[in-house]
Amino acid sequence: MTGSNAPIGVFDSGLGGLTVVRELIRQLPNESIVYFGDTARVPYGPKGEETIIRYSQDIATFLRKQGVKAIVVACNTATAHALPTLRAEQDVPVIGVIEPGARAAVAASRDGRIGVIGTRGTIRSRAYDKAITALEPGATVTAAACPLFVPLVEEGWLDSEPTRIVARGYLEPFTHGKIDTLVLGCTHYPLLKTVIGETIGRDVRLIDSAQETAAETGRVLREQGLQATGSDARYRFVASDDPEQFLAVGQRFLGAPLERVELVTLGV
């Protein structure tokens, strides 16, 4: 059996990508991980495409210097804009969050009525629409930006009254049987699964892109003979600003205690 005990590199504009790390640890417990959260330049959502590509290149370069064997772009906005560039430039597998979510949505949907929610940047990019209709040309995709969900999650207003009211407003376009499957197209949204599920109703299947991306990462590593051979997984967490805030909020995303966060400044 071939393999590699090099770590997987995972990055996000901030902390949301930790929901992907949580799933990677659950599904691939032998894999080591280096996580980079670009907290100095968060959020990516409202930024232009060229800026997001440049930031993603900076981070991929940093991760390669840490010796990673694969890169997971655990950020929908960075995936939407920078994935083709990173795949062209890097000689390790680069996995995004959009294709896995789109594939799972197409598999789960009974008749192709699929909803997508995400940041303004992700929705504007129409990356999910394209990925879904490439797989299932007959699918009908309804998409809506939910820009307040990220700050609500980051401030810890998860199962709260303001979040429920905001969710009712945002999810209105998806009610009345409009969709049978909803893609949570932002790595922050798994923390709102309860509120979103209650608002949208039980008959709509929720696709958690963190889960699907971790599963896809496992498939890619197996296909390329890159799985870890040992069982001494190690985790490193790096942020570009304010490790204190990362420590305080990060464990909510990770679902486990965080012990140490390193500070690294990139391209500023």
Q: Which is nearer to its own copies, 24 or 150 (CB)?
A: 150
Compute the least distance from the CB of residue 130 to its own copies, in Å.
Answer: 21
The residue type found at 211 is Q
- Determine the size of the site formed for its own copies (CB under 8 A): 28
**Distance between CA atoms of residues 146 and 237, nearest Å:** 28
Determine, following the binding rule CB under 8 A, whether residue 267 of this chain makes contact with its own copies. Answer: yes
Determine, following the binding rule CB under 8 A, whether residue 223 of this chain makes contact with its own copies. Answer: no
The burial of 54, by beta-carbon neighbours within 10 Å (0-12 exposed, 13-18 middle, 19 or more buried), is given as middle
Q: Measured in whole angstroms, how far is the alpha carbon of residue 135 from the centre of its chain?
A: 20
Q: Which is nearer to its own copies, 78 or 95 (CB)?
A: 78
Determine, following the binding rule CB under 8 A, whether residue 242 of this chain makes contact with its own copies. Answer: yes
- Residue 146 annotated among the catalytic residues of the structure: no
Determine, following the binding rule CB under 8 A, whether residue 88 of this chain makes contact with its own copies. Answer: no
Candidates 75, 82, 95, 117; catalytic one: 75
Candidates 186, 191, 195, 258; catalytic one: 186
| Site for its own copies, residues 165 to 204, rule: CB under 8 A | 165-166
Scored b (16 or more CB within 10 A) or e, 206-228 reads bbbbbbbbbbbbbebbeeeebbb
Compute the least distance from the CB of residue 17 to its own copies, in Å.
Answer: 16
Choose, by CB under 8 A, the member of 26, 29, 30, 46 that binds its own copies: 46
The burial of 67, by beta-carbon neighbours within 10 Å (0-12 exposed, 13-18 middle, 19 or more buried), is given as exposed
Q: How distant, in Å, are the alpha carbons of 40, 75, 76, 117, 212 from that of 209? A: 24, 10, 9, 11, 5
Which sequence positions are flagged as catalytic?
75, 186
Instruction: Enumerate binding residues for its own copies (CB under 8 A).
Output: 39-42, 46-48, 51, 54, 120, 147-148, 150-152, 154-155, 157, 161-163, 165-166, 241-242, 245, 267-268
